[in-house]
Chain A
Amino acid sequence: MTRDVVITGIGVVLPKTRTVEDLWAHGTAPGHGRAPTVERLSPRLHGSRIDETVLDNALPPRLARKLDVFTVYALVATQSAIADAGLDLAAIDRTRCGAFVGNCFGGWRFTERELRHLHTQGPRSVSPFQATSWFPAAPQGQITIVHGLKGFSKTYMADRMSSLVSVAAAARQIRQGQLDVAIAGGAESTNTDFVRAALEHVAAANGEPAPHDSGFAVSEGAVFLILEDAAHARARGARVYARVQAFAMRNAPCGPDQYGTDPDTLQGTMRRVLGNMKADIVLPDASGLARVDACEQAALAAVCPGVPTLRPKDRYGHAFGAEGALDVAFASLMLHRQRSLPGTAPDDSAPPFAAPDATPATIERVLINACAMGGGAGSLVLTKET
């Protein structure tokens, strides 16, 4: 027996964004006074950053000093998602609740500081929490410890697809009856010298032109969703944002620091999840890397001609490990509120994905794409809860 999987909670920590209403406000009214600022971070890189001081008191200091900021973001976003879902963890079977986390880079803020300690003060000055703070599964471990979750849990590293994969994996566990509830999403910290240098390499390796022409933009933070078996959500009277319908992932190997440029791969995943249905809105990967985006546009023109393609991620830049979950959050809100986010402004310098000609009368189905270095491509479909 397979079960329906629904989204009942959303939690976000992004630049100048702590609540669902902040997220919707930034999505619907770009450029307003409190909006996040996308600025030049390094020669080929633009992006937005989190002001970490606003999270200074978010966690007990004994816990916070053991963690990299990407885990702090994850714990705060998770707490928000649980509250948004009205989920009383003490009232559910926590052996059937797990955590699914997407992440690309691990904890380089903590690591850079400790590497500096190592080289300036010696090995005894390196924090003993280095090992447990850095590794990408740190948020998964802390979420399950803090909330006492005993169900199957896992961390996924798939570059920009990471949290699309984590959400899909959580949905599969619920669909197959292994879990009733999952906390799924992603976390990323990109505001470090090491990560910026790595992303500069990525931009150059994928053919980005003169630095001032590059549309490559990055963000950071955490986005988590509460996924539930639909019957479990109904039984507790939960509000439902959207239904997780289908996910597909493919890989057409290319260079390890390259994104694929063959539209067939993404066309395959989009066709697989849509079947003979039509998407009302597409949230593309929109990497900001010109030749990668040209590939995605070709795939979209073949599979979803004329479908409005929205890039709310442009308000922040691409959040890598958190990006898939962020698109799931935007899609969930559009499906629940039956309102489309605005398209890209005509003067936007980013690549010209098809702007919406008109807002769909009803939004039944939202398609989300993501790509990964090495040739990965994934597509997820969310549908309106009926």
Chain B
Amino acid sequence: MTSTTDRVHAVVIEAIAESISVDPATIQPDTAFEDDLGIDSTELIGIIVDIETALQVSLKGVDYAGLKTPADLVAATLARLRVAEPA
């Protein structure tokens, strides 16, 4: 993984853990938001805004309903960062 991927992954896991008050170590990339963590759509919006703030990135227009796991959220965030800052 690149360092950007590592950082995004860490921010995503931290935002989720903080939002639902759990130990970050219990959250894996393929942990299901709804079935494993009971995260509802309103909590997901809060998590997305926390990620936007931490990484200074906009996730407006992402298909939020399609975000089912932390890996989905990392991928969506990385896609936006790559658009914003082409290598």
Q: How far is the CA of A236 from the CA of B20 in the complex (A)?
A: 38
Does the CB pair B42–A61 fall under 8 Å? Answer: no
How many residues on B have C-beta within 8 angstroms of the other chain's C-beta atoms?
10
Taking a contact as CB atoms under 8 Å apart, the answer to whether B21 and A132 are in contact is: no
Q: Which residues on A sit within 8 Å (CB–CB) of B52?
A: 124
The B interface is mostly helix, strand or loop, or mixed, namely: helix
Cβ of A359 under 8 Å from chain B: no
Instruction: Report if A62 contacts B (CB, 8 A).
Output: yes
What residues on A are CB-neighbors of B24 within 8 Å?
Answer: none
Judge whether A129 is part of the interface by a CB distance below 8 angstroms: yes
A14 to B86, CA, bound (A): 57
In the complex, whether A42 has a CB less than 8 A from a CB of chain B is: no
**Do residues B21 and A62 form an inter-chain contact, with CB atoms below 8 A?**
yes
Q: Contact check, A128 vs B42: say whether CB atoms are below 8 A apart.
A: yes
Which residue of A has the minimal Cβ distance to B47? A128
Interface size class of A (residues with CB under 8 A): 10 to 19
Task: Indicate if A60 sits at the interface (CB-CB under 8 A).
Answer: yes
Cα of A227 to Cα of B21 in the assembled complex, Å:
35
Residues of A within 8 A of B (CB): 60-62, 66, 124-125, 127-129, 132
Can you identify 15 A-B contacts, CB atoms within 8 angstroms? A60-B21, A61-B21, A62-B20, A62-B21, A66-B42, A124-B49, A125-B49, A125-B53, A128-B42, A128-B43, A128-B45, A128-B46, A129-B42, A129-B46, A132-B42
- Excluding A127-B46, A128-B42, A129-B46, 11 further A-B contacts by CB distance (< 8 Å) are A60-B21, A61-B21, A62-B19, A124-B49, A124-B52, A125-B49, A125-B53, A128-B43, A128-B45, A128-B46, A129-B42
